[in-house]
Amino acid sequence: MTESSLKHLAIIMDGNGRWAKERGLSRTKGHEQGAEIIRHITTYCAADKEIESVTFYAFSTENWKRPKLEVEFLMKLLDEYLKNELKTYQKHGIKFQAIGNINEFSTSLQKRILDTEEQTKNNKELTQVLALNYGGRAEITMAVNSLIKQGKTSLTENEISLALQTPYNDIDLLIRTSGEERISNFLLWQLSYSEFFFTPTAWPDFTVKELKDIIRQFKTRTRRFGGVK
């Protein structure tokens, strides 16, 4: 049996707040620990010669509904993360890319995101994608509207795929942590034939070891893409 190929990994990082609450900590501590896990998983993926891209659901269009102080903390944490991670990106050959509508962020945060993309654009080992102010329906809507503005009156699937923001846009494997079993408006187009894994582990407790175990299970699956094998 041929192993399933894993080029694009996507992760819904869930459970930061619950992890912190269980330990009597503030939700912000959960987010801080979660940012550390992103680094560990990303550097592992950069060393894996098969994985080309890993996309993390970092901030959804619905996350603005959270308490104002928590949102403000998340914006500050993102800025600090990108500032601190630049050396990691360069050391491990990681290209950074953001998807989503970053225009709603502060001018300084937008600059940080764009500067990080520019400084890492030539790195080749891995593309790390952070979905920021992202929603799957919004991404598809923007793609279709951009094609309409180009004068298109009918569209093909390939044209829509190419108009999306995500590199390597078909997802091979989606992982969601913390026990929830839904995709929450994440990469709706790209997940059409993905394999799903749901783990009860909260994101701040997620490890490279568990990722390796999931990848081993993934490689035993037969992906039919609607056909018969």
Does the annotation mark 63 as catalytic? yes
Residue type, 220: T
Identify the active-site residue in 48, 63, 79, 101. 63
Catalytic residue among 14, 16, 133, 172, which?
14
Torsion angle of C-alpha atoms 59, 65, 66, 72, degrees rounded to 10: 70
Q: Is 14 a catalytic residue?
A: yes
Cβ proximity of 124 and 158 under 8 Å: no
Task: Please identify every residue annotated as catalytic.
Answer: 14, 63
